[in-house]
Structure 1
Amino acid sequence: MRRNCSLPIGGSTFAFAKILCGQADQAGLSSPPIVHFTSDTLMDFRSKQIAPPRDWPVFEDLCLALFRAEWSDPLALKNGRTGQPQHGVDVYGSPQSTRGELYGVQCKGKERNYGRKATIDEVRQELAKAEKFAPPLAHWIFATTAPKDASLQRAAREFSAERVKMGTFSITVLCWEDIQFLLARHPDVVEDFYPEHAYDIAGVLRALRELPSGEEVRDLREHIKRLIEPQQPNARRQDDGPWDLVSFEGQRDLGPALLGRGLGPTDATACPRLQEADMIVAQLRRAFSVRLVGGPGSGKSVCAYQAAEEFGAGGWIVRRLRDPREDAFPIPADDPCLLLVDDAHLMPRPALRRVEESANARRLVLSIHNGVEDGPLHRGAIVLDAKRAVRTIAAGLLLRPEQTLIAVRRADDDVGLDHLKEPLERRIDHAAAHSDQPWQFCFVLGGGWKRAKEAADAARVARTDLVLAAAAIIQLAARDAPLLSARLGDFCRQHGIADEDCGRAISWLAAQRLFLSDTDCRCPHQRFALAVLGGILDGQDELGRSVVGQMLSAAVREPSFPTAGLRILLHELLFLGHCRRWTRLVDQQALEPLIARGWQATSPEERAFAALLFSDLDAYVDGWYERLHQRVSTIGEWITTASPPAAYGLKDLMNALHNEHPHIAADIVNTVNPTAIAQAISNATPETADHAGELIRAIGRKRPDKWKSTFEAALRRERLVTLARSWPSTAPLLAFARFCSAITAWDDDLGLAMVEVFTPSARKAFADNPVSAFQALEDIADLVLRLSDPLGVYVGKFAPNRRRFALANAMCAELKPKILAAQLSETPRLDFQDATFFLAFLKKASNAKFRATVEAIDWPRIGKTVGENWANLSHQDEIFLTVSYSSGRARGLIAAMVAEHLESIEKFPLRLAVMMPEVAIRHIEAGKRVRFSQHQHFEFQFGAIFLAQLSKLRPDLVEPALAPFENFAGEALSGQNSSWFRDAALFVEVLREIAPVSLQRILSAVDVQKAEAGWLDSLSRPGSAQDAVARLIETAFARDDAVGELARRLRRRYPSRSRPKKQKNHLRM
């Protein structure tokens, strides 16, 4: 679809620069003509992809012409001639010909080797020469034909900032993409050097808006703008009565929108461009005025500003009416101008008509109306499609993930690239699928539920919190069904809230966007409904909580609410308060109709949710498990006849019984028909296999011998082997892995037989995408083959045998180390942990392939993937490097990569410090810390090993390295049970030998009141925790403080256990 655009043209190069800097009305273009052109023309410049000159002299000539135009300095010159010393400056001149400041340009063409990178060392070398240029420069530019390099330009910006602080000239690095951007601003230069690419100036203006400029080009524009502005002090009238001047300078990111803030012109580019913005532009050019209509939060304002920003970039003055309720106001005389009237539905109709009738080709009018106007829609009005806007925004944000993630993480740090973080793409897709309005999309994208406490507090102050609680309860119980205000009003009336108060609350909550609207009283998201309910309960007094309890009980009794919704409400209520404190609010008698309804369930889905409900009711109903015992035959019949998805709920119920009341679980299994279960499993298909696996897990491992023999006689093993052999390539690998692991729990030999015939499918999956395949097949690697064992549980008789090793080796047979290394080199950080587990599996399956693979990984690329996270590496980063480091030749490559990023590391992880102590020592010498503690966890074992290494390599650094963490160590040694001390014995002993003074300071930080319980618990249990506390007692015994008193008291109570066992010298490692 073509789009017509209009922009002013004409005037000198200097005037053109003023247009770019937002001063078109003072650029000598008092009557600029309007030039119409199409979107095909607009994209012409970008599509050409102009290549840089092949020869350095031509590139130098190009730079001279370009910067003469950019600086508006026809007297800019080359510095000397070829062969003469040029002191790092090839071109010099004065922006705007002021002669007050001198700029220099170093031209670094890469001759015929375009694509070769420029380096920061190269910049520094040329800069050192430029320091000698006379007279001194005000600014220096390193212009290169090399491709854009973000790390180079970031390093240059940081270096420039340091120079400015020292009082010397700033610098800019311009790569070829940046130079292309500047060329787009100067068509005369393009025509001289690239005649085949030259075109009209209007096309250049639009191309300029489309091209990514980068920080470097923006900085140069600011330099020029600061020089222009003093020459034109009255460029625009800042005040014109009731009309405010609209500026699009200083564009913001998505942050304000995610937090529901009001948006203005500086948010125009944060949101992907809406289709209606193009429609507005087209109608304004054709008819000079247009009305934009949409509901609250539909994106009207941003859409209008997107359209207005296009005119502003073309030199038009944009003004906004300050108060739309005014009747008498002057029409601005600016020429050309665009007049914005926001909230135009509040404006007197004669006043709006007067503004619209003043519109012409030089004065455009855009009015923005909230909701469909009374009566017929105005002819030609553009109605904003809110749902389409949501799709447009979601698609646009997916195209710029890095920028989006920065803003989203400020609002919700549960989104990110770390393991256990929600991927940005998933959050965007979820927000788009569950939002009807752009504001709701932004609420979900920014994790609005994270700010539920603030919302609950505000609602309490506004006395609307009980109405909000009622809406949240209904929303959860009704499974997010629309909630009409009338229904909410009826519910609130039943609990003592007057209609007038309820109506006022609904209006307030809708205005605060805690409700979707004043007619649909749902919260913006169910997660928010749950979180805000918890916040409201926390802030209530007993009377208020009693009212909420009555609401909960009424909802549970309501027969129109589905069992699934009520189960969600009751299940989530378990976790809202400490120790299930809010479950007491629900009246037990109110649950009886729901329980009866659950036992009457007939469909598989109803039974699944009934079983899930029953697995939680022990927190609400006294003697619940005894009541379940009376229903063993019913539960057994449900299991016997289970069809998808019933087993998913039954597994949860049976798992609770196996753990809490195994005798009830055993009685239920006795009532299950083993022949029927054998038939269900034998008849499993790729579609039902996962459900069949859940059925096995529901029954569990403990089955009576008679039950087992009947089941085994009826099971058709050959069918299961055939299923494994013929598993379709389109069926989920995860479903097979879960089914096979469940079979293995009952019949190990059958599970291995299924893996044997499934191996070709696994082999192909690993070859295609090893990390993704391992994510899907991890249950086989762990529960069937027992080779994925991060916790080290498969030992002794459970250790993997030759058959299992052979199967793992066969699954990896088609993996080629070089290809595999290339695949792993592209692993996103989100998948580092899965890549680690895969490599650990590969090491056991084929150590030779593992070694060849990690040695061929592109470690510099991995370093770039880690990116800003080098400052404080996460667990997933550490274990990926640690497992890979176990190959000899890879160690040097990984150590070199870590050393390369040493300046970026703030907290050096102990695992890496143990692996590469020399690099860690360099880090300490630079005044930075090795990370002994993080997230309330002290690394006793790795800390002991590293300190022992350090005592041999640099004993003078032992105490300085540990000193910042001594208080954290003291807190850890104050733990109130033995689990805190299991890994501490070696650490305490090493410190006794190499840093006794530091150990005494750590003991001074021990909280005796807390520690006594933990030390007593440790002494009562033989093992490593007892050994650790015995060493602490031995060390503290002579102290004359509370810690010493505790040590002596425990020595008297446990004279033998409190004495450490003699061990070999820990420093021999």
Structure 2
Amino acid sequence: MLVGGRLASNIEALGKRLSLGAVAVVGAGLSLAQRYPDTAGLNALMWDAIDADRKARAHLAADLGLEDTPAKALVGDDEARWALGWQTIAGSGVAQARFQAEFTALDAQRSGQRSQAHEGLARLIHAGVVECVVSFNWDSALEAAYLRLYGTRIPDDVLYKPHGDVANPDADWVLPHEDGVVPASVLNRVQQLVQEHPRTLLVIGYSESDEVVVEQLIAPLDDQWRVSRVGPRVSGVDDVMGDSATVLGRLAEPYANAEDEAAWRVVTFDANRGLEHALSGGRLAAADVAVCPPLQEVQHVQDALAQSHAVVLNGESGSGKSITAYQVAQRLAADGVEILQLRDRARRVAVRPWLEDLRHFPHRKLLFVDDAQDLSSDTVRELAEAASADQLVLIAGVDHIAGGVATVSVSGTGAVAVLQRYVLAHRDDLLAKVQVLDDWVGDHLGDEPFEARVERAAKEPTAWQFFYILTGGWRRTSRSMQEVRAFDRADLLACALAVAQIAGVDSGVTVDELVPYAVALNRDRAWVEKGLETLQRHLLAVEHQGVWRCSHLRTAYAVLRWMLHPPHYATKVAAEKVAVQPTASATGNRSETKPQSGRRAKHMPLPEVSKEVALEDRKDAARLIGVAVDSTSTSLRGLAWLLGRAHSTETRWALISCGVRTDEHDRQLALRALETPPGPEVAMASQLLEQLDGRDAPVIGATVWEHIDVIVAWVKSVSPETGWAVGSLVNVLMNDDSGRLASVMGDVDPGSLASLIVHGGWPHIYSTTRAVDRIAHGGGGDLIKATGEALDEDVLSRMLDEVPDLRSADELFKCLSDLNPALGVRLFELHAERLAAMFSPDPLAEHHALFRTFGFLLQYLPMFRRTKQPATACRRAARKFVRALDNRALIAQLGSPAEDLRWHNFWEFILMYADADPRGWAKVVGAVDLEAVEAALVEQLPRPGENVLFVLNSIADVRHQDILDILERHESEFGAIDELLVYTHPELSVRLLREGLPLNLRLEGQDYDVAAEMLSLVGDVDPEVAREVAEANMLPFAAGLANNHQQTFEDLRLWVAECDRWAPTLLDASLATLPPGVVAGWAGALKDPKAKRDIGPLIVRAARCEGTAAAAEAVVLIQRFTSLKGLTGTSNAPVLARTSPQKPRS
């Protein structure tokens, strides 16, 4: 700001006088430049307010001796009548409410506009120069300026507004005709400052015409302090004649410059983007917090910060960790905490300058570091040690960030479940946005249905990949690369940027750092600068403070993949499922409602390049990758990200084919990693070796085995910070040669290994449990047993007293289930009540967190994976847990079943509850709102989802007739027969079969146990319909035998028994139709005694089908496997007994 002459020297002198601090008294003069009215300018508002109360206006007219006319005529601009006008407003509740509402509306329009005067005063407040402000203005321009600059409200006990505030329009304001007010709160605060030490009284834009204010506030301070007035007509010795914008702007300039040069930048939340930015794969930031649905980790992080003041937020790239951090920050900002984010340029200096720069930000704050995977564990620890209740620290990054700090990990699957639910709930609005990015999605013939695309996206592991698939991101990246290719090969620069970003572990790069990549392509700096502009226009690159990145790390991988042009192998199109026809005797004409097809009438191919172009692109990409690999500044982690991480098999092939990954290169990289001495960098070295290893890179494994003593040394010195990576490397070596690994790890101390969990505590539980589990298994059975016995039960129990969240508990219990399951069950039972209290508020979300605990420790694996019933101790521990639950949320969730990922595996928890505590479960289902469940069913008809049908089946255990009544009320609306409907209401299912709906017994998929159960249930109702259902499913049965993808033929004997029971001759007729090669293909299964028990009788029966290919092949098998000769061909499986309702196998 250019201010010269006497004014500049006066402002400089005033700045020096403020060094002791200041109390500011503010009047209307501060806001005039913001287009706020002075007293005369309020006349129009006064007229309108009086007109709002006709009765009050009539009294005013009588007082003036005039007829009752509009207030403009009664009062006008006659100063002699202003006082009566304001008195009229003050005496009328209606008029005063109208006036204050109008001024509040005016303020809403103008307070958000930039104001040099208000921002200057806000900076002085922030710097602690102005410690108290007494404003006699109603407007919020000062508060808005502070919020705009610092993202939060003015600190408490700083701003006082005794005459009224637009933030409280319903209170009585002091109007212009009234004497001023200086409340006790203001006098007390000022007196507190007086007693501490003298300050300067700064009077800005205030006329001092109010005697009360002068006598009670200004005059007493004038007797003791230096007083400086700012205004166009002041003349005192310490006054500054000038407008408030100029003076305050110049006073604040040094503080603004210091903030700009600091290592930290203030994060504000005044800008809001739509969801389009997230949908298009953009890097999420503060502007996205309002539109993105919050993950459950937001509350976890906020709670952890309140408890420990420093938190590390881990998560895969694109998992939602950054937006989670910003949403936590927004909540804190709303509570008065200033959010400070580390600038990209500051990463290149040590921690000490970071902390020194905090002097420019003296108020409550959160220090936020994003993309912190490039920071050392010492840096993380040093920053965390600076945390306090008034200085919180939040560090977010990919991989496991070390540092001994409380850690929250973002669940990728949990984030995807939240997004799936959100997208489906906002279908109509989001479909239009998705179609802008990918017009393949829609509701018209040939479009991919929106729900089908959402279902595809929901299978992805991270939030970013969910949006990437939802919006056809793979098309956008490849097309954008094709487009920028025409701009002086800007696609090569995009590849260079991607390589640099990945090698720099997403820390971003400057133009200077991109120049060596350009030189490798015989290009120069000018090409880089021009090309970056092109990439920015095509949304392939973003810039912030001189640091460039692809729009997201995942985008960088997509760009690199495109330039490598990995081979695309056309996948074999799955054969059409064999359709199941209605039963032969069906008399109705009801047809089955088919699920929506994702097939498209027209296929728009992705951009392609010729083989020659692809080869040249690979060579260029190899040159660029070589720049990063050869650079001494590329860390071991960067090499792992660049060469091993997130690459498909095809992309790895491309890296090898273009010379980036040769045996010699791999060996040198492995040797570089193996040179790492025991210490923090072992994590990165282990990760590099683990990422590079594979069948396509045997030299990595060979080199590691040559130096296995180094790995053993790493194992013996493993720490909580390095455990995750060392454990992963050990796991790779164990899969390669478990016996050899166990022989070299024989002297690993099980006590030291077991103590790693306790030493790391909850902040490192992800890392330590993987290390202990995998290293113990790498050492073989003896080390597993010894490590499990070395675990300290009392210490682990004390840890569980303070478990921060259920995911952390699950990490510990999963480890115990492998090493010492009895200990794990005891600890779970001991802490069941605490775990239940954490689980109860949201069972649908939290059951994912404890899934492995329920499945592996308590032995409640999904039924299809369960080989035995849970042990007594496991069932007792589960019973204690479910009995400690507050079931209110569970009951509500059972009342609104939906088809989203939250319900994935939730059946298993329901079955566990019912098994562990049948009486308790009966009380739960007895309290479920059946009207809500019925509404969910109706919404999903004619083809209801499995979750609502499963809930109905589960409730039917207790409220059988109620559920049958619900289903029968909507019998005419069903368009398909699901197996769960058969289990729950076989009679209704048979009636639907008679009306023409088919029943698929799932035989093509070889789900023989399910098929047997369904046929038994139908047969008990109507044997003739059961026979016809079996006949209708014979073609799928034959197709399943021909596919033979389930070599064990598990439970085939159950199906054979039921089929023979209801349709005795059907199987033999089906066997006779099997094409050549099917029966011969069963030879491998006959080597397994269990499979032989199931398939053997069918081979004997096939041999009786004379004159068929099946018979000839069966005879050969019987001659080869002579034990088959003793079989009769009849299944010895028991007849399935029916219960009501039948429970499905989940």
C-alpha deviations, 1:922-955, integer Å up to 9, x for none? 3334433334449x73533222332344345345
Asked whether the 8 Å contact 1:787–1:841 carries over to 2, the reply is: yes
Deviations for 1:178-226, whole angstroms, at most 9, x for unmatched residues? xxxxxxxxxxxxxxxxxxxxxxxxxxxxxxxxxxxxxxxxxxxxxxxxx
- 1:857 aligned residue: 928
Question: Are 1:1031 and 2:1098 an aligned pair?
Answer: yes
Cα pair distance change 1:805/1:1065, threshold 3 Å: closer
CA contact (8 A) 2:837 2:886 kept: no
**Residues 385-411 of structure 1: CA distance to partner in whole angstroms, max 9, x if unpaired?**
xxxxxxxxx9x9899735456565868
Cα deviation, residue 448, structure 1: 1.4
- Whether the 8 Å contact between 2:1006 and 2:1046 is mirrored in structure 1 is no
Q: Is the 8 A contact 2:841 2:889 kept in 1?
A: no
**What SS does the corresponding residue of 1:786 show, helix, strand or coil?**
coil
- Is 1:913–2:988 an aligned residue pair? no
Matches within 5 A, 1:428-507: 446=471, 448-449=473-474, 472-482=498-508, 491=517, 494=520
- Which deviations, in whole Å up to 9, do the C-alpha atoms of 1:267-286 show, x marking residues without a partner? xxxx999xxxxxxxxxxxxx
Where 1:619 maps in the other structure, the secondary structure is coil
Contact 2:499 2:642 survives alignment (8 Å): yes
Structure 2 CA distance for aligned equivalents of residues 743 and 490 of structure 1? 51
Which residue in 1 is equivalent to 2:1055? 987
Against the structure 1 CA distance between its residues 954 and 818, is the aligned structure 2 distance closer, same or farther, given a 3 Å change threshold?
same
Question: Per the alignment, do residues 823 and 972 of structure 1 end up closer, same or farther by CA in structure 2, a change over 3 Å counting?
Answer: closer
Change (3 A) 1:620 1:856: same
Residue deviations 1:773-827 (CA, integer Å, cap 9, x gap): 443334443333334564454638xx523x4433333223334667752354356
Alignment partner, residue 384 of structure 1:
none
Query: Please, which of 765, 776, 779 is the counterpart of residue 700 of structure 1?
Result: 776
- Structure-2 change in CA distance of 1:930 and 1:625 (3 Å): same
For the residues of structure 1 that align with 2:686 and 2:99, how far apart are their CA atoms? 63
Structure-2 change in CA distance of 1:1024 and 1:478 (3 Å): same
2:1021 to 933, 950, 953: 953
**Change beyond 3 A, Cα 1:624–1:984:** same
The answer for the alignment partner of 1:814 in structure 2 is 884
Question: Is residue 538 of structure 1 aligned with residue 607 of structure 2?
Answer: no
Q: Give 2:858's match in structure 1, choosing from 768, 785, 800.
A: 785
Aligned pairs for 1:546-695 within 5 A: 548=618, 551-552=621-622, 554=626, 555-572=628-645, 575-577=648-650, 583=656, 585=658, 586-601=661-676, 606-616=681-691, 617-667=693-743, 669-695=745-771
Structure 1 gap segments, 5+ residues each: 4-36, 45-252, 261-270, 274-393, 432-440
Does structure 2 retain, via aligned residues, the 8 Å contact 1:872–1:907?
yes
- Percent of residue pairs bearing the same amino acid type: 18
1:990–1:492 Cα change, 3 Å: farther
Aligned with 1:979: secondary structure? coil
Q: How many residues align?
A: 675
TM-superposed CA distance for 1:651, in Å, is: 1.8
Q: 1:530 to 1:909 in 2, by over 3 A?
A: farther
Aligned 8 A contact 2:832 2:880 in 1: yes
Q: Please give the per-residue CA displacement for 1:65-97, whole angstroms capped at 9, x wherever unaligned.
A: xxxxxxxxxxxxxxxxxxxxxxxxxxxxxxxxx
- Distance, in Å, in 1 between the alignment partners of 2:1094 and 2:652 is 33
Residue 506 of structure 1 deviates from its aligned partner by: 7.6
1:929 corresponds to: 998
CA deviation map 1:499-527 (0-9, x unaligned): 99999998876665455599998554333
CA RMSD of aligned residues (A): 5.4
Question: Counterpart in 2 of 1:385?
Answer: none
Is contact 1:977-1:1018 (8 Å) kept? no
Supply the distance in 2 between the matched residues of 1:1039 and 1:259 (Cα, whole angstroms).
63
Amino acid at match of 2:741: A
Encode CA deviations 1:133-162: one digit per residue, 9 max, x unaligned: xxxxxxxxxxxxxxxxxxxxxxxxxxxxxx
Instruction: Specify whether residues 718 and 858 from structure 1 end up closer, same or farther in structure 2 by C-alpha distance, changes over 3 A only.
Output: same
> CA offset at residue 646 of structure 1?
1.5
Q: Report the CA distance between 1:996 and its aligned residue.
A: 7.4
Q: Does 1:735 align with 2:808?
A: yes
1:755 equivalenced with 2:828 (yes/no): yes
Residue number in structure 2 paired with 1:122: none
Q: Does 1:1020 align with 2:1093?
A: no
> For the residues of structure 2 that align with 1:713 and 1:1021, how far apart are their CA atoms?
36
Matches within 5 A, 1:14-163: none
Question: Alpha carbons of 1:258 and 1:743: their partners in 2 closer, same or farther (altered >3 Å)?
Answer: closer
The DSSP-based 3-state class of the residue aligned with 2:773 is helix
Cα separation, 2, equivalents of 1:706 and 1:443 = 47
Query: 1:939 maps to what in 2?
Result: 1007
DSSP 3-state at the match of 1:544: helix
CA distance in structure 1 between the partners assigned to 2:534 and 2:1070 by the alignment: 54
Match of 2:731, SS state, is helix
- Structure 1 contact 1008–1043 (Cα < 8 Å) conserved: yes
CA contact (8 A) 2:666 2:699 kept: no
* Matched residue SS, 1:643: coil
Q: Answer yes or no: is the 8 Å Cα contact 2:836–2:881 preserved in 1.
A: yes
Cα distance in 2, alignment partners of residues 456 and 972 from structure 1: 44
Counterparts of 1:242-261 in structure 2, within 5 Å, are: none
1:523–1:607: structure 2 CA closer, same or farther, 3 Å change rule?
same
Q: For residues 945 and 460 of structure 1, what CA distance do their matches in structure 2 show?
A: 60
Q: CA deviation at 1:643?
A: 3.3
Paired residues of 1:971 and 1:1007 also in contact (CA < 8 A): no
Contact 1:483 1:521 in 2 (8 A): yes
**TM-score by structure 2 length?**
0.49
What is the one-letter code of the residue matched to 1:608?
A
SS in structure 1 at match of 2:763 = coil
8 Å Cα contact 2:566/2:651 also seen in 1: no
Q: Secondary structure at the match of 2:977?
A: strand
Map Cα deviations across residues 541-597 of structure 1 (whole Å, 9 max, x no partner): 388347526734624444433332332343346534299686555222223443244
Mapped to 2, the partners of 1:257 and 1:679 lie a distance apart of: 43
Q: CA deviation at 1:1031?
A: 1.5
> Quick one: structure 1 residues 734 and 944, their matched pair in 2 at CA, closer, same or farther if it must change by over 3 Å?
same
Give me the whole-angstrom Cα distance separating, in 1, the residues matched to 2:538 and 2:746.
57
Q: Deviations over 1:326-368 (max 9, x none)?
A: xxxxxxxxxxxxxxxxxxxxxxxxxxxxxxxxxxxxxxxxxxx
Q: 1:495 to 1:1057 in 2, by over 3 A?
A: farther
Where in structure 2 are there 5+ consecutive unaligned residues? 1-33, 37-97, 106-273, 282-289, 293-418, 435-440, 443-447, 569-609, 1138-1146
CA contact (8 A) 2:481 2:559 kept: yes
2:999 match: secondary structure: strand
Q: Which residue of 2 is the match for residue 973 of structure 1? A: 1041
Partners of 1:399 and 1:573 in 2: CA distance:
29
Equivalent residue, structure 2, for 1:196: none
Structure 2 Cα separation of the partners of residues 1000 and 709 of structure 1 = 52
Inter-CA distance 1066–551: structure 2 relative to 1 (3 Å threshold): same
User: Which shifted more, 1049-1058 or 707-716?
Assistant: 707-716
Q: Given the alignment of the two structures, is residue 526 of structure 1 paired with residue 602 of structure 2, yes or no?
A: no
1:515–1:524 Cα contact (<8 Å) kept: yes
Distance 2:534 2:1073 in 1: 51
CA distance in 2, matches of 1:811, 1:765: 11
Contact 1:924 1:930 in 2 (8 A): yes
Is the CA contact (8 Å cut-off) linking 2:813 and 2:853 kept in structure 1?
yes
Give the alignment partner of residue 903 of structure 2, picking from 829, 832, 836: 832
Distance, in Å, in 1 between the alignment partners of 2:957 and 2:963 is 10
Q: Deviations over 1:632-661 (max 9, x none)?
A: 333233333333431111221122222331
